[in-house]
Amino acid sequence: MKPYDLPDARGHFGQYGGTFVAETLIEALDQLKAQYAKYQFDPEFRREFESELKHFVGRPSPIYHAKRWSDMLGGAQIYFKREDLNHTGAHKINNCIGQALLAKRLGKPRVIAETGAGQHGVATATIAARYGLECVVYMGSEDVKRQAQNVYRMKLLGATVVPVESGSKTLKDALNEALRDWVTNVDNTFYIIGTVAGPHPYPMMVRDFQAIIGQECIAQMPEMAGRQPDAVIACVGGGSNAMGIFYPYIEHEKTRLIGVEAAGEGLDTGKHSASLTKGVPGVLHGNRTYLLQDENGQIIETHSVSAGLDYPGVGPEHAYLKDIGRAEYVGITDDEALKTFHECCRIEGIIPALESAHAISYATKLAPTMSKDKVLLVNLSGRGDKDMHTVSMKSGLSFFCHPECETGRNVAAAARGETVSPISIVRK
């Protein structure tokens, strides 16, 4: 294929991307574009970025051969890119460092972020603490309830978490509210968007900061597997971990790129987050891309067991890669992802994030259809510690952060004259 050089100067990936925002945001975006262009290849900026990735994040993250599981499946060899081993437990921190370094150079003392599951919020709060920046994180009030532990982590790191009560009270509404904050406080505030969506230059800039994932793989795979992979597999919500690992492989035409969306309760149930598989192109959050919407163009509520994939849009570059056929997009259901989550714990001794479990799950489906000399590389984008509550509930286990949390139930049990178990994990 011809050299890949998207987006164009106006942020378009084919018909996708662009700058679909109110006039009130244009100046801030123009300023950001100019600053990013200035520092993108600046040796001093690159040096600081790379030094932070090495000493604060712990990069490069290793590649690991899931040999036992590959042997059990009897087909292609599965390798994991271990983004779960990064500081803060996921790939999100790579991008946060890049954008926070820009914020410092722009002299903005305040950063804001949107978050769904809380991973991007935690990463932003982390780097804001490290650089002494004020940090405000917008989070849908439904997500605040579902992700109490990450809310607490952000607060420990000194961030202010603002619950968003508008719309569906989830990630998309948090993004709307962060944009409103930015419009109002553009003079002193830098908006750290967490995924490869939003108005230009965000999809390009976030991809560039996350591309370190794929760049490392290109260097590591020959040593680990003797060659580049036959397929690279990553989960796609907004799509930042997938773009990060796909981007350096786009020109490696022999490597298939496979994005795995959340099929939720099933692609035909209406309860999923599979924007690329089931959506149609439209405009949301500053860019044109595939969206889950009704026939009147209203954005609809999405579902996934994994909060990080629960988003009705997707990065515009994925929309483009789908249309030109360079990447394929498939779905994995909640049940499939949960099954894989448990298998990964038991077979490989790795607790993956539920998001990443979607990608691994597809790899375990694909591997047996391929010969043993084939190679699959899965982006293990985050660790699963944050998902303990969700998984324990779905698995019929009660999990208490604190034994006292169970008190109410114990009192009720005692009143019925039952013996009360003192342990904090009980099987229902």
Provide the binding-site residues for another protein, judged by CB under 8 A: 10, 18-24, 26-28, 166-167, 172-173, 175-176, 179-180, 183-187, 280-286, 291, 293, 295-300
State yes or no: is 172 an active-site residue: no
User: Judged by CB, which is closer to another protein: 13, or 79?
Assistant: 13
- Whether 133 and 157 have beta carbons less than 8 Å apart is answered as no
Tokens 């271990």 locate to 82
Please report which helix (H) or strand (E) contains residue 151, including its range: helix 148-156
- Residue 10 Cβ vs another protein, minimum distance, rounded to whole Å: 6
- Residue 115 Cβ vs another protein, minimum distance, rounded to whole Å: 17
CA distance 200 to 9: 9
Q: Helices 43-52 & 92-105, crossing angle to 10 degrees?
A: 140
- Whether 82 and 59 have beta carbons less than 8 Å apart is answered as no
Q: Give 397's strand partners.
A: 427
User: Judged by CB, which is closer to another protein: 24, or 160?
Assistant: 24
- Residue 422 Cβ vs another protein, minimum distance, rounded to whole Å: 47
- Residue 279 Cβ vs another protein, minimum distance, rounded to whole Å: 11
User: Judged by CB, which is closer to another protein: 98, or 315?
Assistant: 315
Strands 134-140 and 160-164: parallel
Catalytic, out of 114, 142, 177, 348: 114
Tokens 């009660």 locate to 398
Catalytic, out of 92, 169, 172, 322: 92
Side chain identity, residue 137? V
User: Judged by CB, which is closer to another protein: 129, or 186?
Assistant: 186
Per the structure block, which two tokens stand in for 19?
């700058």
Tokens 């994995």 locate to 332
User: Judged by CB, which is closer to another protein: 20, or 131?
Assistant: 20
CA distance 42 to 54: 18
State yes or no: is 92 an active-site residue: yes
- Residue 66 Cβ vs another protein, minimum distance, rounded to whole Å: 40
- Whether 356 and 340 have beta carbons less than 8 Å apart is answered as no
User: Judged by CB, which is closer to another protein: 201, or 286?
Assistant: 286
Per the structure block, which two tokens stand in for 352?
């993956």
State yes or no: is 339 an active-site residue: no
CB atoms within 10 A of CB 406: 19
Task: Identify each DSSP E strand in 4-87 by its residue range.
Answer: 12-13, 16-20, 63-65, 77-82
User: Judged by CB, which is closer to another protein: 185, or 392?
Assistant: 185
Catalytic, out of 83, 381, 386, 406: 381
- Residue 26 Cβ vs another protein, minimum distance, rounded to whole Å: 6
- C-alpha dist (Å) from residue 164 to 145, 175, 180: 11, 10, 12
- Residue 299 Cβ vs another protein, minimum distance, rounded to whole Å: 4
Tokens 């597809």 locate to 362
- Whether 161 and 92 have beta carbons less than 8 Å apart is answered as no
User: Which residues are identified as catalytic?
Assistant: 92, 114, 381
